[in-house]
Amino acid sequence: MSRTLTLNLALLAGIALAFALSLIAGKVWIPLDAWTAGDPRWPIIAELRLPRTLLAALVGAALGLSGAAMQGYLRNPLADPGLFGVSSGAALGAVISLYFGYVASPLLLPAFSLTGAGITMAILALLVGRSGSVIVFTLAGVILSSVAGSMTALAISLAPTPFATSQIVTWLMGALTDRSWDDVWLALPLLALGCVLLAFTGRTLDALTLGESAARSMGVDPLRLQLLIVIGVALCVGASVATAGIIGFVGLIVPHLVRPFVGNRPSAVLLPSALAGALLLLLADSLVRAVPTVSELRLGIAMSMLGGPFFLVLLLRMRRRLA
């Protein structure tokens, strides 16, 4: 049995255990004997914890896969889905809906968020043009991320009421609190389509490791690859931000955790990164619910607390290697 297959099976087993833990854990722990329709605690599982758990797994898998695809495309182990500016654009769309109070319908905030991600994606494609250059692509993403971030900060500073400011800041922290089946059905098709598009880039990313010139000589179309990456990441990140707010570092952490087991070939990293992303977010969401705090710790904050030190250690290791 290959190491990759062994790792994937181990991750699937971990996801199954983490899924069960997520249904049990919380401020109120629900034992297994309550998992029957006749038990008065069953609605807590069926209507609150089950959709939240599914959403955590879906968002984690999408962000992990997006991070692995980006690192393979940019050939940069420090690349993260937020680098494209798509997450910042999606966040800006959601902030605009909160700023103007367009949240009467539960679908309006996700719609604004997905629109923000789509507009950012379109602008990114226009800025890059037909060049297919990785450098131009990266610079355009950084510029868009900076502009969207500054506009989000402007909206916060000019919010019409303290309540609007509180709503915006709370949403930007990222969380899966009070998510319902509507959020799952909204995110599922978008995340699934985005993941399928990114899965198709595997062999092309392998060719790109030889360099752009060598990849072109092997028949790789840089523009087609770029479109698949942009649309796939936009769908994954946009749908994730639309339903859960900004949850960072998943796409940075999980490819580094699985790479020692599968090697540096980008196509081999994709599936394990998706599975590891789902496992990581399931465990993190269970942890923030179980921590004995007055109010629930925001998932985005917890991931930043985990991802910041991880990024620093990674940076120090790379510096030592280059010295």
**pLDDT, averaged across the chain:** 84
Q: What is the reported pLDDT for 165?
A: 82
CB-CB contact of 246 with 91 (8 Å):
yes
Give the residue ranges of DSSP H helices in the chain.
3-24, 42-43, 50-74, 86-99, 108-128, 134-157, 162-172, 181-199, 202-208, 212-217, 222-244, 250-262, 266-290, 299-322
For residue range 56-94, list pLDDT tens digits in order.
Answer: 999 999 999 999 998 888 877 777 777 677 888 888 888
For residue range 288-308, list pLDDT tens digits in order.
Answer: 988 877 778 888 888 888 877
CB-CB contact of 145 with 79 (8 Å):
no
Q: Which of 254, 214, 305 is nearest to 81 (CA)?
A: 254
For residue range 269-280, list pLDDT tens digits in order.
Answer: 999 999 999 999
Number of Cβ within a 10 Å radius of residue 265: 16
Q: What DSSP character marks residue 45?
A: I
Cα–Cα dist 279/285, whole Å = 10
CB-CB contact of 62 with 239 (8 Å):
yes
Q: What is the reported pLDDT for 40?
A: 74
Q: Which two tokens stand for residue 67?
A: 């991070």
Q: What DSSP character marks residue 49?
A: I
Q: What is the reported pLDDT for 63?
A: 94
Cα–Cα dist 20/236, whole Å = 25
Q: What is the reported pLDDT for 281?
A: 95
Q: What is the reported pLDDT for 15?
A: 96
Sign of the Cα pseudo-torsion (280, 176, 147, 221, in order): positive
Q: Which two tokens stand for residue 39?
A: 């038990």
Cα–Cα dist 8/10, whole Å = 5
CB-CB contact of 281 with 57 (8 Å):
yes
pLDDT band at residue 16 under the 50/70/90 scheme: very high
Q: Which two tokens stand for residue 31?
A: 């034992």
Cα–Cα dist 201/227, whole Å = 10
Cα–Cα dist 318/323, whole Å = 9
How far is CA 214 from its chain centroid? Answer: 31
Average pLDDT value for residue range 33-42: 71
Cα–Cα dist 247/152, whole Å = 16
For residue range 245-264, list pLDDT tens digits in order.
Answer: 888 889 888 998 899 899 88
Higher pLDDT, 323 or 26: 26
Q: If you search the block for the tokens 């590891």, which residue do you land on? A: 276
Helix, coil or strand: residue 37: coil
Contacts of 113 (CB under 8 A, 6+ apart): 90, 91, 93, 94, 97, 238, 241, 242
Cα–Cα dist 194/295, whole Å = 33
CB-CB contact of 255 with 273 (8 Å):
yes
- Whether 102 shows a pLDDT value over 60: the answer reads yes
Identify the top-confidence range among 22-26, 41-45, 162-166, 317-321. Answer: 22-26
Taking the CA atoms of the chain, what radius of gyration do you get in angstroms?
Answer: 20
Q: What is the reported pTM?
A: 0.89
For residue range 122-180, list pLDDT tens digits in order.
Answer: 787 777 666 556 677 778 888 888 888 899 888 888 887 787 788 788 778 888 888 88
CB-CB contact of 299 with 59 (8 Å):
no
